[in-house]
Each structure stands twice: as C-alpha cells, then as structure tokens.
Amino acid sequence: MDAVRVIEVKKSIFESNDREAERLRKQNREKGVFLLNLMSSPGSGKTSVLLRTIELLKDDLRIGVMEADIDSDVDAKRIAQTGVKAIELHTGGMCHLDAGMTERGLKELNCDDLDIAVLENVGNLVCPAEFDTGAEKNVMILSVPEGDDKPLKYPLMFQVCAAVLINKIDVLPYFDFDMDKCIENIKMRNPGISIFPVSAKTGEGLEKWADWLRVQHKHLT
Amino acid sequence: MDAVRVIEVKKSIFESNDREAERLRKQNREKGVFLLNLMSSPGSGKTSVLLRTIELLKDDLRIGVMEADIDSDVDAKRIAQTGVKAIELHTGGMCHLDAGMTERGLKELNCDDLDIAVLENVGNLVCPAEFDTGAEKNVMILSVPEGDDKPLKYPLMFQVCAAVLINKIDVLPYFDFDMDKCIENIKMRNPGISIFPVSAKTGEGLEKWADWLRVQHKHLT
C-alpha cells in the first residue's frame, strides 16, 4: 500500500515539475536570459570554474549566480566578490532543485537585466539529474580525482547534459585517470555532448568553454 | 495540495523505514554480524579503501560486501577478486538505500556466517544520510580533492557517522587542503566522531581504521 502511494505522488511531482520547467524556460527565452543548470559531485570545483568563467565573460555579458547549498554561504560570498549578482539558495536538506525553487531564486536575483543566469545546483550526481529546473541547458563538471568510470555509474547525469567539463586536469599526473577512456565512457552515455577538459586552477581550457556559453546565449536571442 | 501530500508520504516512508532499520539492527546483533554502512561522494575511493581493508582483516574476520550502484558492476567484480563474498545491488536510479533494500541484499549475501557485512552505499553526500539502513554504524569517506569545507556544506552526513576516513592523503601536496581546518570543521558537526586520515593508494593510516573495525565487531558480540 505504502509503495503504491509513493509512486503515485512521485509521478505527480515530476509531471507538475515538468510543466513548471517548460513554462519557466519559455519565459526566460522571451526575456533573453540564458539559464544554465550546473551540476557535479561535491568538491568537483563548480564554484572555482564559475569564478574563472565570470572573469572571461563579465565584460561582454551580464551574469547572475544562484548558489544552491544545503547549508553555508561560503560559495555565494566568493562569487559576490567578482562583482556579479549572487544569491544563496538554502535547500533545507533537499538534495536537488526543481523548477519552482529555481523560479523563486530567479525572482530574488531579479534576472530581467541578465544575459546569463547560472544555477549552481546541490553537489550530487543522482537527484539533480532527475528534476528539470527549467534551465535552457544542463552542464556538469566531472573532476579528474573522481575517476574516469563515473559515466558508467551515473548514466542519467551524463544523458541530460549538453556539455561536460572535465576539471582539475592540472593533477592528471598524480591520478590513475585515462582521458581517452573517460571521453569514450561519456560518449557512450551521450554521443552528442560537448566535452571540455579544463583546469580552474591554471585556467587551461576555459576559453573554449566560455566561447561555448557565448554561442548558447547568442542562439537564444 | 500537492506539497501537503508529499510531506505526509515522506514522513510515513521515514517512520516505517526507521522501524524496519531497528528490527534489522537487532537481528544482525543477535547473529553477530556487524553491518557497516559506508558512504561518500562519487569517486572518493570507497571501493579502493574497501579492498585495502579486506586485505588487512580477511585472515581474522569473515567479510561480505554489498555494492550499491545505480548502474554497472565494476566495483563488485573488483571486490569479488579478493575472495570475499560480494554482490551488486542495482538501485534502479534510486539515490540511497533504505532498510528494506539492505535486508534483501543481506539475504542474497547469505550473511549468517559473516562477521562484518559492508554496505557500499550510492555515491552521494545528501540522501543516504537521511535513510537508516539498519547498519550498526555509519562511516563516511571524504577525499582530499573534495576540499576541507565539505563538513560545512553537508552537515547531516557528518552528524550521522561514527567515523570519517579522510582519503587520498598521498595527494595532499597538490591540493589546497588544510587538514587541521578539515578536522575542526568535522568536529564542529560531530565532536565524538573518529577521524582517520588514510591513503588507499599507499596504505597509509589504514591499520588504525582496520583496528577500529575489529573493536566494533568485538563490542557487538
């Protein structure tokens, strides 16, 4: 009995969320706001990548960032220091963001005068992949120390993303990480995905990623 | 209306899971099986730590391992090569294990002749912390590349664990990771927690962790 009720309710959450997400996506397109949903494991370097990305783009594009975290406001403070708009979204223990939570965040961010709004999702490779936030594109960061086998273990995350950044390539010599194998594993899950090997520490590879974002924003408007 | 229904159902899942977990814990104590729930982010080295732990303990203790994964059986194969009992639990997209799933795993593992049964939970720092699996003790692995600020961001995970292994200390020179700060952050969340800095690559620190497990098993019986 319990099991049946759970499935029903989950279904209704997903369906209603999908509708909300579609509406939010349409609304942002009309406003010319490119909403990016950035996902990864804890500690893969989402905030450091964002800081570098902001440096590369902030002279041409107006950027705002929503930092989703279960607790702490460490990341939002780091982002705010770059001078771009940043807010913290505390999820209250929730493991992902949905379209409703994202929309509330966008209102707080007052996104109407932005070109790119970035949602830094909760550090988690499972649940965030299941919930459409209403973003125009999903992107994930996989970091070298996590291992080249992650696309085998977390298939949905790689399937829902338009691009993946392979971060921390500066430490490649110290890890048993096969870049070719990793790319093969990613392509197996999602043949059309764009892949950017980068280092948020040295800045390597991030120009190409910033160019990809420019193109995405241009295509929107 | 939707929101209210969700909360009710979640509550009933948690309550019924807590009862199941308590029953399973009692049952395992009576059998003398120490059930360990091992949690971490994706890629922190759970399987590598387990392989080293098995080497250190397998002459004295009978060990069995349940590898929970959304997909793939890579880890279970690696464990099985050590000669200990190993099974793979595919969660079908689920982001955590509950007591019912753990009990089904233990039956498959045929745990009655085991001293230690290890549940390698899904790589995720959020949801697994919320569900009691019925384990005698929860332990987590945090790895150096993930950063020393993770206890600030994922408080519940650190609160529910009896011990934390800080893995990949071999790469400490290449990361901006402050061990003292990390330990301070962990103790802030959970003052009584045992902390073991280790390297699954070199074996450093793992003897003390293995001794901790011996003591846990001894106290059970």
CA dist list (Å): A6 to A167, B4, B5, B6, B153: 37, 13, 10, 9, 29
B72 vs A123: CB contact, 8 Å cut-off?
no
How many structural domains compose chain B? 1
Alpha helices in chain A (DSSP H): 2-31, 46-57, 74-80, 99-109, 150-153, 155-159, 179-189, 206-220
Q: Which residues, other chains included, contact A112 with Cβ-Cβ below 8 Å and sequence gap of 6+?
A: A31, A33
CA distance B52 to chain A (A): 17
Alpha helices in chain B (DSSP H): 2-31, 46-57, 74-80, 99-109, 150-153, 155-159, 179-189, 206-220
Model confidence at A76: pLDDT above 90: no
Is the CB of residue A134 less than 8 Å from the CB of residue A102? yes
Residue A213 to residue A117: CA distance in whole angstroms: 11
State residue B8's pLDDT score.
Answer: 42
Residues of A in contact with B16 (CB under 8 A): 2
State residue A36's pLDDT score.
Answer: 98
Q: Which among B211, B216, B70 is positioned nearest to B137, based on CA atoms?
A: B216
Average pLDDT (A19-42) is 96
Going by DSSP bridges, is the β-strand pair A85-90/A63-69 parallel, antiparallel, or unpaired?
Answer: parallel
CATH number of the domain to which A126 belongs: 3.40.50.300
3-class SS of residue B67 = strand
- With respect to residue A110, please indicate whether it lies within any of the assigned structural domains: yes
- With respect to residue B4, please indicate whether it lies within any of the assigned structural domains: no
Model confidence at B7: pLDDT above 60: no
B93 vs A2: CB contact, 8 Å cut-off?
no
Model confidence at A122: pLDDT above 60: yes
What residue numbers bound the domain in which B40 lies? 15-220
- With respect to residue A2, please indicate whether it lies within any of the assigned structural domains: no
- With respect to residue A84, please indicate whether it lies within any of the assigned structural domains: yes
Helix axes B2-31 and A2-31, enclosed angle (nearest 10): 130
Give me B142's structure tokens: 């945090």
Average pLDDT (B158-164) is 98
Q: Which among B123, B22, B106, B140 is positioned nearest to B68, based on CA atoms?
A: B123
Residues of B in contact with A127 (CB under 8 A): 95, 124, 126-127
- With respect to residue A212, please indicate whether it lies within any of the assigned structural domains: yes
A123 vs B125: CB contact, 8 Å cut-off?
yes
Model confidence at A4: pLDDT above 70: no
Higher pLDDT: A36 or A96? It is A36
Sign of CA dihedral A10, A11, A16, A21: positive
Residue B151 to residue B136: CA distance in whole angstroms: 22
Residue range A168-187, pLDDT digits in tens = 999 999 999 999 999 999 99
Confidence band for B2, pLDDT divided at 50, 70 and 90: very low
- With respect to residue B3, please indicate whether it lies within any of the assigned structural domains: no
A155 vs B71: CB contact, 8 Å cut-off?
yes
Confidence band for A112, pLDDT divided at 50, 70 and 90: confident
Distance of alpha carbon A65 from its chain centroid, rounded?
11
Which one of A6, A154, A171 has the shortest CB-CB distance to B70?
A154
State residue B194's pLDDT score.
Answer: 98
Q: Which among A71, A67, A69 is positioned nearest to A86, based on CA atoms?
A: A67
- The residue of chain B with its CA nearest to that of A168 is B145
Residue B47 to residue B70: CA distance in whole angstroms: 15
